Amino acid sequence: MHIDVWSDFACPWCALGLYRLDAALAQFDHGAHVTVRHRAFELDPFAPKLRKESLEAVLATRYAMSSERIKAGHDALCEMGAHVGMEFHFDRVTLANTFDAHRVAEAARGTEAEDRVQKALFGAYFTEGAPLSDPEVLVRTASGAGLDAALAREVVEGDAFSDEVRADEQAARELGISGVPHFVINGAWAVPGAQDVDTLVTLLRRAWDRSGA
């Protein structure tokens, strides 16, 4: 059984969804026989390389949210993340364009480092507060997660895997995906949002039974 996961590194719910999926697969009887493919999605493809504003300031302006509401939302995400091993520090987040991070992640697709690179990039953004548009951050993060350092540097210094990122985004549009995380099991069963672990386990079992595996 295989699962395609569309996500963006600037999306906390995507980070939470990835860790919840891992927890679900650990509980799923056939988890060892499930392959996960990570697909690129940019929530804001026109984001500048780097933004000076804080995450709180941007949320307050874009969604007319009060500081209290923003803090409550972040506190809730921190608590949910702690249950599955994802550590959020929203006060550290450095807002940045994620296109190059997606290119680096594409370079790891299909390798043993794929999942580790995904988690490392989420950690760099939400735990460390590192700007994912910085080539040195990307090389350090990806190589630390097991991607060949020379390959990582080749990617960030050129335009390799740009077409692959765009292909992922086009596939998302064709499927009508407008928000992430978005999971598609066996190319047939869509699971939108960062579902809780129990729900994911139930969906995995149903998909497995229906697939006749």
Q: Using one digit for the tens of pLDDT, what is the confidence trace for 175-212?
A: 999 999 999 999 999 999 999 999 999 999 999 998 86
pLDDT of 52-70, one tens digit each? 999 999 999 989 999 999 9
pLDDT at residue 213 is higher than 70: no
Q: Going edge to edge, which strands form the sheet with 182-185?
A: 35-40, 2-7, 182-185, 189-192
**Tell me, what's the pLDDT at 173?**
97
Question: Hey, CA dihedral for 188, 194, 199, 204, is it positive or negative?
Answer: positive
pLDDT digit string, tens, across residues 140-179: 999 999 999 999 999 999 999 999 999 999 999 999 999 9
Number of structural domains (the chain) is 1
Instruction: Output the CA angle 21-23-26, nearest 5 degrees.
Output: 110
Looking at residue 60, what is its pLDDT? 93
Query: pLDDT value at position 211?
Result: 81
Give dist(CA 151, CA 36) in Å, integer.
22
Q: What is the pLDDT of residue 101?
A: 98
pLDDT of residue 133: 97
Domain CATH code at residue 192: 3.40.30.10
pLDDT average, residue stretch 45-55: 93
pTM of the model: 0.96
Give per-residue pLDDT as tens, 90-127. Answer: 999 999 999 999 999 999 999 999 999 999 999 999 99
Residue 83 confidence (pLDDT)? 97
* Secondary structure element (H or E) that encloses residue 191, with its range: strand 189-192
pLDDT at residue 37 is higher than 90: yes
Q: Which domain holds residue 115?
A: 2-211
